[in-house]
Amino acid sequence: MLIDLHTHSHASDGTDAPARVVADARAAGLDVVALTDHDTTAGWDEAARAATEVGIALVRGTEVSAKAHGISVHVLSYLQDPAATVLTRELDAARESRVHRAERMVELLARDVPITWQDVLDQSRDAVVVGRPHIADALVARGVVPDRSAAFTHLLASGGPYHVHHYAPEAAAAVAAVRAAGGVPVFAHPGADVRGRVVPDTVFDELAEAGLAGLEVHHRDHTPAQVERLLAIAARLDLLVTGSSDYHGDGKPNRLGENLTDPQVLAAIVAQGTTEVVGA
């Protein structure tokens, strides 16, 4: 059984519709795929319909923005109740803050490069969450940079000249909110030091105490040394170990199924979640 538990659609910062993500996952030979857009469940219904049509199991989830010790982190929430206010309040606040942050970043960028807020809106299309990837796409369309990766290397880098912070709950609070919503929290790409600072080992203990279920260990942004480190942490804290593509369509080089999750781990996630896997 081939299982990929981290993908994005154009409801957040992916380039494809939820139905397309699901159909492409089936075409790639996957048996199970999770849709985990940033701070939204807007793509769930469309993805569920597509999963039934193409014959693939769908795990519905969300990638929740958070912070720990001043470092930006993400918590994957699987199979939560989408109506649970304890989590939806945090998602709503994060989405609103992301939009304000994006507007301010465009204001700053416009002093030095040709870009407007309308350029960003033209790129975001059906997105519920407008953010830095859409600014990157606008910069590409304007010919300022060749691709998204180049935009994030300098112009949109965290701590770069145009960076603006946005609201995010503390990671332990995010984990607790996911659990309160009946979801299963997994720390997304926690050792991705290619993206910037990563959290110290003590954070994993804090999150485990708050209810963390697992670590996304097998991810393209993890070096072999980080994989070894994270496997040791997961074993010490008795956490589940997942693997995923973090697929964004054409927005990133990540390919569906390039990292996978063991079926027994998925079974453990399903046993802890509130909502059902579609098509299971």
Topology (CATH) of 101-153: DNA polymerase; domain 1 (1.10.150)
Q: Structurally, what CATH architecture does the domain formed by 3-92+166-272 represent?
A: Alpha-Beta Barrel (3.20)
pLDDT score at 225? 95
The domains of the chain are located at 3-92+166-272, 101-153
Please give the full DSSP string across the chain, using - where no structure is assigned: --EE--B--TTTT-SS-HHHHHHHHHHTT-SEEEEEEET--TTHHHHHHHHHHHT-EEEEEEEEEEEETTEEEEEEEES--TT-HHHHHHHHHHHHHHHHHHHHHHHHHTTTSS--HHHHHHHHTT-SS--HHHHHHHHHHTTSSSSHHHHHHTTT-TTSTT-------BHHHHHHHHHHTT-EEEE-STT-GGGS----HHHHHHHHHHT--EEEEE-TT--HHHHHHHHHHHHHHT-EEEE---B-GGGSS--TTSS---HHHHHHHHHH-SSPPBT-
The pLDDT profile of the chain, 280 residues, written as one tens digit per residue, is 999 999 999 999 899 999 999 999 999 999 999 999 999 999 999 999 999 999 999 999 999 999 999 899 999 999 999 999 999 999 999 999 988 999 999 999 999 999 999 999 999 887 787 889 899 999 999 999 999 889 998 899 888 899 998 899 999 999 999 999 999 999 999 998 877 789 999 999 999 999 999 999 999 999 999 999 999 999 999 999 999 999 999 878 999 999 999 999 999 999 999 999 999 7
